[in-house]
């Protein structure tokens, strides 16, 4: 799993995933559901940036840079 030594944890929602993947909200909700299933989370549980980044196969720092548009 990606390290969090230099990046703060934050909650990821479908809007973040839609922005990151340049996809529709419908596709982003499906991706969010897949991430939750992968980590054994229930529908009401939240997804963190570390989990989303690991699922997508990118480093947390790169994930945050992309989301923040830096």
Residues in the chain, how many?
70
Q: How many CB atoms sit inside 10 A of residue 15's CB?
A: 12
Q: Is 17:56 a contact under the CB 8 Å cutoff?
A: no
How far is Cα 7 from Cα 22, in angstroms, rounded to an integer?
23
* Residue 69 confidence (pLDDT): 82
* Residue 28 confidence (pLDDT): 97
pLDDT at 4 over 50: no
* Residue 32 confidence (pLDDT): 98
pLDDT digits (tens, 9 = 90+) for 17-55: 999 999 999 999 999 999 999 999 999 999 999 999 999
How far is Cα 29 from Cα 9, in angstroms, rounded to an integer?
20
How far is Cα 30 from Cα 23, in angstroms, rounded to an integer?
11
């Amino acid at each position: 799993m990606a390290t969090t030594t230099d990046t703060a944890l934050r909650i990821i929602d479908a809007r973040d995933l839609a922005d990151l993947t340049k996809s529709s909200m419908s596709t982003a909700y499906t991706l969010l559901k897949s991430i939750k299933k992968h980590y054994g989370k229930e529908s009401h549980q939240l997804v963190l940036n570390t989990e989303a980044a690991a699922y997508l196969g990118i480093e947390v720092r790169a994930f945050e840079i992309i989301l923040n548009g830096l």
